[in-house]
Amino acid sequence: MNDDDDLLAAELALGLIGDSAATSRRAQDGAFAARVAWWEDQFAGLTTPLAMEPSAQLWPRIAARIPQNDNAPTNVLWWKLTSGALAAVAAISLFMLAQRPQIELPPQPGAPAVASLAGETGSAMAISYDSATRRIALAPIALDPGKGDAELWVIPVGADKAVSLGVFDARKPSSHQLNPAQARLVAAGATFAVSLEQRGGSPTGQHVGPIVASGKMVET
């Protein structure tokens, strides 16, 4: 590619020209399109130093504009109804998720199940779960446990009792492996919820702090 053509690619990438001929050339000429993309990638580097936290209300506004999946209602009545019975299921071994947080979010061989948790205060979390490997990935958004911890709960399909899956790092995505007893509780149709608890999680086996996000798991 000669300099004039390459400069045209750079000018298009930078928006210096509002040239419809160059735009249609990009659509038709693969080599030219590749050069425009190269320049775009280079200029994108100018944004490297920029980062700023948007408000916690932004994600719910975006989520409201994309098609819904089976997302649980944000009312928490069922928690109030079931929380008294939770101690009975506390015997299930609790695995403290926060012990080994991991940066990697899991690859998804086969079809993972996912859940999109949301709440009225703007807190939200994406969950992805692969039953083959029992790996669960958590991507929290605007989840602020203050000086305490966020705790993840599951209500299995057909059950009316919530079981703690442990506390997790509310400030960044993490990935964990469930033990077999926990894995039996997690399947499409199960409901997840996040509560804000004291450090280390609720000591009672039932949620003590507020539920800030909930949602149902669906197969993808």
Partner 1 sequence: MASESTENPASLERAALSRALAGVARQDRAALQEVYCRTSRKLFGICLRIFGERADAEDAMQDVYITIWNRAGSFDPARGNPISWLATLTRNRAIDILRASGRRPTAPIELAAEVADESPDAEAQLVEQGEDARINHCIEGLAKSDAQMIRTAFFEGSTYADLAARVSLPLGTVKSRIRRALLKLRECLS
The binding site for partner 1 (CB under 8 A) comprises 3, 6-7, 10-11, 14-18, 37, 40-55, 58-59, 61-63, 65-69, 71, 100, 102-105, 107-108, 114-116, 124-128, 137, 139-141, 173, 175-177, 220
Q: Is the Cβ of residue 116 or residue 164 nearer to partner 1 in the bound state? A: 116
Q: Is the Cβ of residue 44 or residue 88 nearer to partner 1 in the bound state? A: 44
Q: Is the Cβ of residue 24 or residue 42 nearer to partner 1 in the bound state? A: 42
Q: Is the Cβ of residue 142 or residue 163 nearer to partner 1 in the bound state? A: 142
Residue 203 CB, shortest distance to partner 1, in Å, is 25
In the 3-class helix/strand/coil scheme, how is the chain assigned residue by residue? CCHHHHHHHHHHHHCCCCCHHHHHHHHHCHHHHHHHHHHHHHHHHHHCCCCCCCCCCHHHHHHCCCCCCCCCCCCCHHHHHHHHHHHHHCCCCCCCHHHCCCCCCCCCCCCCEEEEEECCCCCEEEEEEECCCCEEEEEEECCCCCCCEEEEEEECCCCCCCEEEEEECCCCCEEEECCHHHHCCCCCCCEEEEEEECCCCCCCCCCCCCEEEEEEEEEC
Residue 126 CB, shortest distance to partner 1, in Å, is 4
Residue 87 CB, shortest distance to partner 1, in Å, is 29
Residue 83 CB, shortest distance to partner 1, in Å, is 26
Residue 130 CB, shortest distance to partner 1, in Å, is 12
